[in-house]
Amino acid sequence: MSVRAVGEIASFHAHVYFDGAEEAAAARALRERVAERFAVRLGGWRDQPVDPHALPMFQIALAPELFGTLVPWLMLNHGSLSILVHPNSGRPRDDHLRDRIWIGAALPLAEEVLPETEDEAETAGEPNTAPTLSP
């Protein structure tokens, strides 16, 4: 097996899942707290599951440099929500299924929709938050 370099990771995603009204409210609050503290790109609010995800969720796209603060912050502040953190290295299947971490309880993913490779690893994109608080 060849050694991979961290530079292969173009960005990370943190997918915050929720199930039912109570968790949806907790996820909304978490989303606001993240936006107040981190320059990230928040994805749309998904009330219905979108493949490969089994539950409603929203996505946080983060630059690799933010991993060391945002992920520990999520570990301390996720409450009872499940969060999938995965790299975007151009290998969607491995990124989501093999090389991920879970904060909270692990959930199933629809493996069959995840391609082995993609042409270009997804970057975090322009942040759409304007943080005013320190994490």
**Cβ at position 93, least distance to Zn ion in Å:** 12
Distance CA 85, CA 99 (A): 9
> Hey, what amino acid is at 63?
A
The smaller minimum CB distance to Zn ion, of residues 23 and 95, is found at: 95
Site string for Zn ion, 65-104 (x = CB under 5 A): ----------------------------------------
Buried b (16+ CB within 10 A) or exposed e, 41-51: bbbeebeeeee
In three-state secondary structure terms, 129 is coil
**Closer to Zn ion at the Cβ: 13 or 41?**
13
Q: Which of 13, 37, 41, 91 binds Zn ion (CB under 5 A)?
A: 13
Stretch near Zn ion under the rule CB under 5 A, chosen from 8-16, 28-36, 98-106, 127-135: 8-16
Size of the site for Zn ion (CB under 5 A): 1
Which one of 10-18, 30-38, 49-57, 63-71 is the stretch in contact with Zn ion (CB under 5 A)?
A: 10-18
At residue 75, what is the residue type? M
Q: How far apart are CA 32 and CA 135, in angstroms?
A: 13
Distance of CA 116 to CAs 48, 54, 89, 135, Å? 25, 20, 11, 35
Residues near Zn ion (CB under 5 A) are 13
